[in-house]
Amino acid sequence: TIKMAAVERVESLAKSGIKSIPKDYVRPKEELESINDVFQEEKKEEGPQVPTIDLQDIESEDETIREKCTEELRKAAMDWGVMHLINHGIPVDLMERVKKTGEEFFGSPVEVKEKYANDQATGKIQGYGSKLANNASGQLEWQDYFFHLVYPEDKRDLTLWPKTPSDYIEATSEYAKCLRLLATKVFKALSIGLGLEPDRLEREVGGLEELLLQMKINYYPKCPQPELALGVEAHTDVSALTFILHNMVPGLQLFYEGKWVIAKCVPDSIVMHIGDTLEILSNGKYKSILHRGLVNKEKVRVSWAVFCEPPKEKIVLKPLPELVTVESPAKFPPRTFAQHVEHKLFRKEQEELVSEKKS
């Protein structure tokens, strides 16, 4: 058997003392113009800012108060498709435990983490990984990651979860349960925001049995030339919703009204993205915003993203019939989640082939 060459981990590269990054990590010329120092960007006060939504009253007994909260969430979902959630009901000490155990795992030697290595070639996507150069541009991202399914509990494979630190499994499991409850509250409010029955959106994405929560811990090592690289390239999330924790190091950028806007770090908040799945169901009323991750040379950035995804094949995603009218016809063709993901990959390859011909 031919043994696969070991994947170069970005962390090992970063720690090797290189002064310049390998060319596989350097972004194309037109992209470089928009990559700036993340700490300078975060200090900027002018220009649009990612909205902060207070969920304190999302389940208030008082209808007027509840409606005001729902309306703010709906506006942010239609205008930005991303927001900082505060008073989201997830205990801060639990979030801290999740962050602490994730950071401890990533703090262990690379050879320990390699025991959990995934193998994308054989379809084993859960585990420790780095992006392989599988796209036409051959470009790599300045990050390593750990990816695994966290909910529903009967679909998890705990053998793939880190054994150390010892609190990892418990903290992550508890957090996933809390997030699942939060997702329900958000789906309800967003359904009402579209004039639908409160449980409609959640049903459409698979409900408690079928909606999958996939966690990806993104680890962005310090980068000697952060102005040339990206931690994660520009993309929209395919999920229904994505919830993100981070270690208070800035890096998330949103493409809003034709410009890249950095998300400021809001203590104890959870960043929430509307993903493609909800954009499709809402016929484009809710936005799945283009975003990317910057890196820096001073601080390691870590983020914990949980993607709430419908089952791959069981559900056909298409604009809900109530939201399709003569004035606003269906913007998206019917596709399963798997087909949507494929379609995006195919489109990206097409775009890359075109830009390769140009260069």
- Catalytic center residues: 216, 235, 237, 291
CA atoms within 13 A on the CB side of 305: 22
- The answer to whether the CB of 233 falls within 8 A of the CB of 290 is no
Q: Sign of the CA dihedral 201, 206, 208, 213?
A: negative
**Whole-angstrom distance, CA of residue 349 vs CA of residue 2:** 28
Cα dist from 322 to 18, 188, 278, 281, 282, whole Å: 56, 17, 14, 10, 9
Handedness of CA 256, 308, 96, 251 (dihedral sign): negative
> Are the C-beta atoms of 302 and 219 separated by less than 8 Å?
yes
How many Å apart are CA 116 and CA 219, to the nearest integer?
Answer: 15
Measure the CA–CA gap between 53 and 60, rounded to whole angstroms. Answer: 15
3 state DSSP class of 233? strand
Distance CA 262, CA 206 (A): 33
- On whether the CB atoms of residues 317 and 278 are closer than 8 A, the answer is no
Sign of the C-alpha dihedral computed for residues 350, 226, 25 and 237 taken in this order: negative
Per-state percent for the chain, helix, strand, coil, to nearest 5: 35, 20, 45
Identify which of 170, 153, 169, 171 has the alpha carbon closest to the alpha carbon of residue 161. 169
